[in-house]
Amino acid sequence: MNGFVASEPLAKARSYEEHMEAFIEPKDRPVFHLSPRVGWMNDPNGFSYYDGEYHLFYQYSPYTITWAPMHWGHAVSKDLLSWKHLSCALAPDMPYEKHGGCFSGSAIELPDGRLLLMYTGAGENGKRKDGSPIEHQTQCLAVGDGVDFQKYEGNPVIDGSSLPEGSSTEQFRDPKIWREPDGTYRVVLASLGPDKSGQIVIYRSDDAFTWEFEKVLSRNCWRYGIMWECPDIFTLDGKDVLLVSPQDMLPHRHDFYSGNGTLCIVGFVDPETGMLMEESTSGIDHGTDFYATQTILSPDGRRIMVAWMQNWDAIAGSIPSTRWFGQMATPRELSVRDGRLYQWPIRELEGWRRNRVAHSDVAVGNEPIALEGVSGRVVDLLVNVRPEGDTYQEFILWFAQDKMFHSSIRYRPAHGTLEISRIHAGMRRAYVQHRKCDIPGAPAELSLRLVLDKYSAEVFVNDGVQALSMTLPTVLTADAITFACKGQVSIDVEKFDLVDPAEE
């Protein structure tokens, strides 16, 4: 950007990442999941299509592989799968970011062609009696050309003083901005409401720089965790959909589990009250690692969701000797059918499929079987399972497997549940290593899609009615895939290696 001068913290981060990324070998990274240029990554930020490319920013600490005052990392891609790292976009260099740095936010192209970033400044507002800082979160702007971003001199543009009385500005964050058809702007934000549980609010603006409080969109009322993070609201297939990431969830059957979760509310915004009327609620992803979703509308009209493929409670599993930590989930196309959210890996992934191997009508019984040509760790695997006879109780698929390690997917039609497990994947810490979810309709026939990329597994069930994601620490030589069942089934299997077409 003409005349742009990086602040000292930004210049330092940029030169550090440029120097240190050479110590990370591309072969040690996921193939098509975005990982940080160096250091630590959490939430996706500023997901946008700008100047002919997708831009994805992320919560970033270049110097550590644990969370530390937040910068914004930055990458671009033409297909959302093959990523190119750009320079660090934001560094904490302002008084209003003094406590935690530049927290999560979003991006939008302005009518004059510049890219606007809106993010939370995690500042400080005095001290408690015990000397600990009182965090003060405000909403801030930076404007740029897609590489360099100048923080707005009028920051913060939303300080929370017009929030409903009793709301918290210690917890007031994660702006997701959009433009209405009439050219005005809205931003959806999360805060703690007067009842000290999450509330989702909307602010409006004519020019994206001057903001006023518009309304409360939704209230948690202590139902799903406490604080709700990273809200996103959009209309899809005739419904209004709110995605949030609740903290401190209580488990509820298999749909929600304790810790940091994800929540999808499908309903409609009441034109009278402006509140989101809820028709159904469900978890978004039921695996061990999925949080902080953000969506955009792609130029061809698809609602695409990204997320951090990690879990705050699972970061104890990071390996001190590595130079990066954290990765994004495969971007997913969303749809709403019968009032439910469906997710499917972006269709661009199909363009990466190579070396097709197919087996039809394979009889599977109690003895595990392997199939010729079906193995690998960077793989797209499609499996259809049909019961044979009436003894069928459970179908099991093992992957990332050798003599010592394996992960698994288990479907129990009588219970209507599907479980993923990495208990034997080589985890060195004893946090949660398996998760279960209900499969709507509990059909006897099952269709699975398993997407593997070195250090992760993502499972999509029955056309995407459920999704489960988990990271894997398993050595890459553990690449067997085997099948078994309790009873008798017949399966069709289609397997592809996933290869970047640009690298052939």
Interface with ligand FRU (CB under 6 A): 42-43, 59, 70, 103-104, 120, 173-174, 229-230, 291-292
Q: In whole angstroms, give the CA distance from residue 191 to residue 170.
A: 8
**Catalytic: 43?**
yes
Q: How far apart are CB 327 and ligand FRU at their closest, in Å?
A: 14
CA-nearest of 460, 476, 488 to 385 is 488
Helices (H), 88-224: none
Q: Give the type of residue at 174.
A: D
Please say which residue, 43 or 380, places its beta carbon nearer to ligand FRU.
43
Angle at 462 between CA 262 and CA 396, to 5 degrees: 95
Q: How far apart are CB 471 and ligand FRU at their closest, in Å?
A: 16
Query: Dihedrals φ, ψ of 137, to 5°?
Result: -100, 130
Q: In whole angstroms, give the CA distance from residue 190 to residue 227.
A: 8
CA-nearest of 292, 297, 296, 324 to 309 is 292
Q: How far apart are CB 43 and ligand FRU at their closest, in Å?
A: 5
Distance of CA 268 to the CA centre of its chain: 24
Query: DSSP letters of 34-51?
Result: ---SSEEEEEEEEEEEET
Please say which residue, 35 or 407, places its beta carbon nearer to ligand FRU.
35
Q: In whole angstroms, give the CA distance from residue 91 to residue 81.
A: 26
Please say which residue, 42 or 138, places its beta carbon nearer to ligand FRU.
42
CB distance 249 to 225 below 8 Å: yes
Q: In whole angstroms, give the CA distance from residue 372 to residue 380.
A: 16
Please say which residue, 291 or 411, places its beta carbon nearer to ligand FRU.
291
Please say which residue, 37 or 173, places its beta carbon nearer to ligand FRU.
173
Please say which residue, 42 or 421, places its beta carbon nearer to ligand FRU.
42
- N- to C-terminal Cα separation, the chain: 34
Residues 6+ away with beta carbon under 8 Å from 343: 284, 285, 305, 332, 333, 334, 460, 464, 467
Please say which residue, 59 or 220, places its beta carbon nearer to ligand FRU.
59
SS3 374: strand
Catalytically annotated residue among 43, 79, 93, 285: 43
Rg (CA), the chain: 23
Q: How far apart are CB 339 and ligand FRU at their closest, in Å?
A: 27
Q: In whole angstroms, give the CA distance from residue 183 to residue 428.
A: 52
Q: How far apart are CB 291 and ligand FRU at their closest, in Å?
A: 6
SS3 378: strand
Q: How far apart are CB 258 and ligand FRU at their closest, in Å?
A: 16
Q: How far apart are CB 361 and ligand FRU at their closest, in Å?
A: 45
Q: How far apart are CB 448 and ligand FRU at their closest, in Å?
A: 29
CA distance to 127, 418, 468, 497, per residue, from 413 (Å)? 55, 8, 17, 29
Please say which residue, 124 or 438, places its beta carbon nearer to ligand FRU.
124
Q: In whole angstroms, give the CA distance from residue 310 to residue 417.
A: 23
As annotated, the active-site residues are: 43
